[in-house]
Amino acid sequence: MPLIPIEDNFTDVIAKAQRGYAISDAELASRAEITAEALAAVKGGEANLPVLRRLARHLQLSPDALEILAKKTAYPRAPVFPRGFAFFNTRHEDMTVNNYLVWDNKTREAAVVDTGADAAELLEVVDTHRLRVKHVLLTHAHEDHVAALPQILAATRADVWLHEREPADAVPGARRFADNDYFHLGVIAIKCLPTWGHSPGQTTFYVQGLSWPLALCGDSLFSASVGGSPTHFREQVKNTRARIFSLPKDTVIGPGHGPLTTLAHERKYNPFFAPDRLAPVEEKKSAASDETPAAAEKRPARAAGKPAGPRPGKPAGPLGFHGRRKR
């Protein structure tokens, strides 16, 4: 497989953070003590490093990691799994999307994690290894992650599973799992970690029993970025930090878009999680959260990390529900 490009560039990361934390252009330029023109130039793609570093400090991003992303000097390397794991990258409209197959080598029981846009290659691997696909596990119900479901169901007898907080009509016939539920394939255990925010039930499937611990995290985390969220971005970042960045250091990360990576790489190079990022105040009070989206909605707006109300000059922005290029 050719090298998969890093999903987001520095302008995507700035746009996601700015939208997620609801900071207008005027406010951001003022806080960072830069001109409106300098901000517009950076957002237009000019890698002005001193300006980037100033912006990072006011967007809760790591200046070092954002600079490295702009300079394109880091690319993740994940170890090869000798058995029990396959990774697929298929084209969906103007982007590519990832999906995965994990299996127990002895029992040949397998689970598909997300479907991608075309399952032909995945079904070949199933045939080659004589696997029995027990489950299709969906990180969330966005269209690019479930597009090839009919193709997989036509070829297997798998059950389809979706988190109970995902929309009721999202995937007809899907069974529902809850936070921290487990699935088992022979000696392999798969735990459902709640990393919601990008969608109400976004889940990371944490796989133990292969050569390395493995976190298949949908759009909760990308190499050097995260999935967008117009409504629960702070929760998304907080849940990802609490649930994924507490996993073992050698965990391999399988994101919904972009290349495979490792937790060690993201600790250093992800602008949202690298150590020189300024920690938001509310996270000092509670690092982890068992809070559900419904509970977060009930908190006062400020405590939930949302602006208290509409702000003058709040960026309307060109971003759709998923962020740039729909995710």
Q: Which stretch binds Fe ion (CB under 5 A): 38-46, 63-71, 115-123, 140-148?
A: 140-148
Q: What is the DSSP letter of 170?
A: S
Q: Is the torsion defined by CA of 294, 227, 50, 276 positive or negative?
A: positive
Pairing of strands 203-208, 188-194: antiparallel
Q: Which of 54, 58, 92, 142 binds Fe ion (CB under 5 A)?
A: 142
Q: What minimum distance in Å lies between the beta carbon of 263 and Fe ion? A: 21
Q: How many of the chain's residues bind Fe ion (CB under 5 A)?
A: 3
Range 163-222, binding Fe ion (CB under 5 A): 219
Q: Using the structure block, give the residue that is written with the tokens 């992650």.
A: 145
Is 103 or 177 the residue whose CB approaches Fe ion more closely? 177
- If binding is defined by CB under 5 A, does position 235 make contact with Fe ion? no
Q: Which is nearer to Fe ion, 39 or 146 (CB)?
A: 146
The token duo for 252 is 């391999």
Element (H, E) at 25: helix 25-32
CB-based closest residue to Fe ion: 142
Per CB under 5 A, the segment of 98-106, 138-146, 186-194, 246-254 that binds Fe ion is 138-146
Q: What is the CA radius of gyration of the chain?
A: 20
User: Cα(232)–Cα(213) distance, rounded to whole angstroms?
Assistant: 28
Shortest distance in whole angstroms from residue 300 CB to Fe ion: 28
* Residue 257 makes contact with Fe ion by CB under 5 A: no
Closest to Fe ion by CB, 158 vs 226, is: 226
**Angle, to 10 degrees, between the axis of helix 36-43 and the axis of helix 10-20?**
120
Contact residues: Fe ion, CB under 5 A: 142, 219, 327
